[in-house]
Every structure is written in structure tokens, then in C-alpha cells.
Amino acid sequence: LRPRYAAVDIGATKIGVAVGDESGISEKLVEATDRTRGPLGIVSQIVRMLRSLEHRGLRSIGVGSIGPLKISEGSIVGTPNLPFKEIPIVEPLMEEFKVPVRLINDCSAGALGEHVYGAGRGVDNLVYVTLSTGIGGGVIVDGHLLQGKDGNAHEVGHLTIDPYSELTCGCGCRGHWEAYCGGANIPNYARLLLRGREGFVGLLSELAGIDLGGLTTEIVFRAARLGDPTAQWIVEKIGEINAVGFADIVNVYDPELITVGGSIALRNQELILGPIERGITKHLINRRPEIMITPLGEDAVLYGALALAWRYQASS
Ligand SMILES: [Zn+2]
């Protein structure tokens, strides 16, 4: 029997599982996250999903998860995006499958996936950034995956852009990058930019209501793609803030390569990368790296979790 490894991607809205080996993913399954049955419901969903894939000869399991994590306990603790205080992951999966289980932050997994399977092969200094409901990062410096004391290094979405900002982040702080450019907050930023002009903003008023009460991130980008000048201006402003965030990352970690994933970036590749390319240089002290959309698409975290599984198994 060929050795097989399992990968799990735990997100607030979706859970993905896969099996595979050093050469890649051979089978995968994605479902909506079951938020209705408590923390153990999450675990039993993962178990059921993994059991539905070919799992004979399973050697180990790698998990990339939304944070914050407590790596020493093998659990997710107090995540703002799921209604549970603590979700134990490592213990219950170990008991169920009788194999080693290793847990890391989903963006760290994304960076590892890029390094092992993606655009970062042979690149020892790289950062993976996800622009999605929230903003996160995973970092490899000198070939080492950086993790921090609890596994929560690189919460780059919570870098402060403006401490006096009117925009409050989901974490409760003022003026974080995510408060402007996270998918959950882009409508707030757009309404701030348009304050006093509601009802006079053409297509956006048509799509989101005269007071822009129905404004969503999807509407902003859709209107921009349709050529609406107001929406394009908002997208440019979002890009100006993203350029600051990316420049901070370059100034702190000095990567050769930044790859970008997450639903907002994957669906709006040019509208996201263009303004960053144009705006980043004026904030940089370090040499500018290559910045690109991840070739692994929505599977970057799963690939990283898979790499975590066989690398860990090999070293233990
Ligand atoms: Zn924050």
C-alpha cells in the first residue's frame, strides 16, 4: 500500500479535506462549515469528510486552520469568525485515525504550500498573503516557516494603517489594514469615502440602494469591472491601502516573492494587483520583490497542510 497523507483546511465558511502524497493532491472534498453542532461538530464533520476519501494506509494528517490557535493545546481559541470559544483539533483527530496530527495557521499553511508545490519552489524567502473576508499572511524566511509562540505569527491584517481612523477592525482595534481592505469591511470603507455623496454615485446607488445600505464588496468590484468610475476610484483607494500593507510586509520580512490568494484577490486579480504594483514603491525601504497571484488558487492551504503532513511524518 502506498503511504497516504491527509490535509485539512478549516475556514469560517468552508472546510476542505484532501489526501495525497509528495507529488500532490489525489482526491479532495469541500463543504460548508457546520456551525450548528458546537465545537465537536466541526471535528466530526472533518472525520466524516476524511473517511469518505480513500484513507487506507494513512500516515499522518496536516491541518491548516483559521486562528487564533493555541499550538501547544492543538486547538483553535476564540476565533472571531466561529461562534465557539475553543475547538480542539489535534487530540480528537489523533484518537480517531491513530496517526500523528499537526496543526498550523491557515496562512502559514498557504506559505508552506507555495514553497513546496507552488510558485515558491526553490525560493527561501517568501510571503503568502490572503485577501479574503479577513487579511492574513504566512512567512518563510531563510527557508524556515515562522510561527510564533502560539502559532499566530503574521497577523498582517492587523497592522495599523491609521490609529486615528474612523474604521474599526473586527478585532476591536482602530485603523487596522483589515478594517479598510478585508472583505467584511470594504463596504464600511467605501461608505466612508462616499460620505455626503450617497445617492449621487450612479451605478453604486442603483446596485446598493440610495443610502448605499446594501453595499457589498462584491458590488464594489463588479461595478468597477463594469467601468463605473466611482467604483473604480474606490478600488484604487483600496489598492492604496493594500500597497501600504504589502510594503510593510516587504520592509519587515524582505521576501523575494509574495504570492496572493484569498477570494477577493482570486476573483479580481488585476483590480487588486494593479494598484499595489503602482503604489508600493513609495513606501519601501527594502528591495521590491515579485508579487503575483498564487498558482495554487483556492487550494494553497490544502497543499500546505499536505506538505505539513508528509514532512512531519518524515521527520518524526
Ligand atoms: Zn484588527
Write out pLDDT tens, residues 205-228. Answer: 999 998 899 999 999 999 999 999
Are 303 and 113 in contact by the 8 Å Cβ rule? The answer is yes
- C-alpha 75 – ligand 1 centre gap (Å): 21
pLDDT number for residue 314? 53
For 148-183, what is each residue's pLDDT tens digit?
999 888 889 999 999 999 999 988 999 999 999 999
Pairing of strands 126-131, 257-261: parallel
For residue 80, how far is its CA from the centre of ligand 1 (angstroms)? 11
CA of 29 relative to ligand 1 center, distance in Å: 31
For residue 204, the model assigns a pLDDT of 94
SS (H, E, C) the chain: CCCEEEEEEECCCEEEEEEEECCEEEEEEEEECCCCCHHHHHHHHHHHHHHHCCCCCEEEEEEEECCCEECCCCEEECCCCCCCCEEECHHHHHHHHCCCEEEEEHHHHHHHHHHHHCCCCCCCCEEEEEECCCEEEEEEECCEECCCCCCCCCCHHHCECCCCCCCECCCCCECEHHHHHCCCCHHHHHHHHCCCCCCCCCHHHHHHCCCCCCCCHHHHHHHHHCCCHHHHHHHHHHHHHHHHHHHHHHHHHCCCEEEEECHHHHHCHHHHHHHHHHHCHHHCCCCCCEEEECCCHHHHHHHHHHHHHHHHHHHC
User: Using one digit for the tens of pLDDT, what is the confidence trace for 6-34?
Assistant: 999 999 889 999 999 999 999 999 999 99
Q: What percentage of the chain has pLDDT greater than the value 90?
A: 87
Statement: residue 124 has pLDDT above 90: yes
At 130, which amino acid appears?
Answer: T
Task: Identify whether the C-beta of residue 175 lies closer than 8 Å to the C-beta of residue 167.
Answer: yes
pLDDT in the model for residue 316: 42
For residue 160, report the distance from its CA to the centre of ligand 1, in Å. 8
Span from the CA of 79 to the centroid of ligand 1 (angstroms)? 12
- Ligand 1 geometric centre to CA of 184 (Å): 12
CA 176 to chain centre: 16
Least confident of 82-91, 265-274, 276-285, 300-309: 82-91
Cα of 245 vs centre of ligand 1, distance in Å, is 13
Q: How far is the CA of 280 from the centre of ligand 1 (A)?
A: 21
